Amino acid sequence: MMEGAIEKVLLTEEEIKKRVNELAKEIEKDFPQGDLILIGVLKGSVIFVSDLMRALNLKVTMDFMAVSSYGMSSETSGIVRILKDLDFDIEGRDVIIVEDIIDTGTTLKYLYEYLKARHPRTLKICCLLDKPDRRRVNIEGDYVGFKIPDAFVVGYGLDYAEMFRNLPYIGILKEDIYKK
């Protein structure tokens, strides 16, 4: 059922794993002292943040936030809601927001400003996927896995209507699935 919904595999499991390890090395170079807080943005980043955390050879803790601007739609509403806030104080800490994809940037820009107001020592963005053709606001990732074309992608944590997150690769979803 799920395989038949995929138009094309965009990034294989092996390509993703290799790039996650490379991103970990970039982060280790920038934060050799460690003691990082990774903030995974639920739900899409769960697999990515888990793999990234395991690839880091640093002292690292993890927290999660849940934010929404999509709901069950394939298009952002532009209104960002925080559904789950942090459990830990980030003031004076080195923080990396870990996001699955930067699309329009609306949600991530809001989240970045929201966390910046809590006065972390540093605040960086690590995203697995960057879709620059869809950007509506000025925000970029500090650590970017892959730049991708404007296509509806699923897998490796990314979903459509809560489905397809469990695919081990990132694929382009057939248009007839999400245009129903």
Q: How far is the C-alpha of 18 from the C-alpha of 24, rounded, in Å?
A: 10
Set 51, 100, 103, 130: catalytic member: 103
Q: How far is the C-alpha of 117 from the C-alpha of 71, rounded, in Å?
A: 26
Pairing between strand 143-147 and 122-130? parallel
DSSP string, 130-159: E-GGG--S----SEEEEE--S--EEBTTB-
Nearest one of 44, 41, 50, 53 to 114, comparing CA atoms: 41
Check if 133 is active-site: no
Residue 56: partners with Cβ closer than 8 Å, 6 or more residues away: 24, 27, 28, 36
Q: How many residues does the chain have?
A: 180
Q: How far is the C-alpha of 64 from the C-alpha of 111, rounded, in Å?
A: 12
From residue 166, give the alpha-carbon distance in Å to each of 47, 88, 141, 171, 176: 9, 28, 24, 12, 20
Positions annotated as catalytic residues are 103
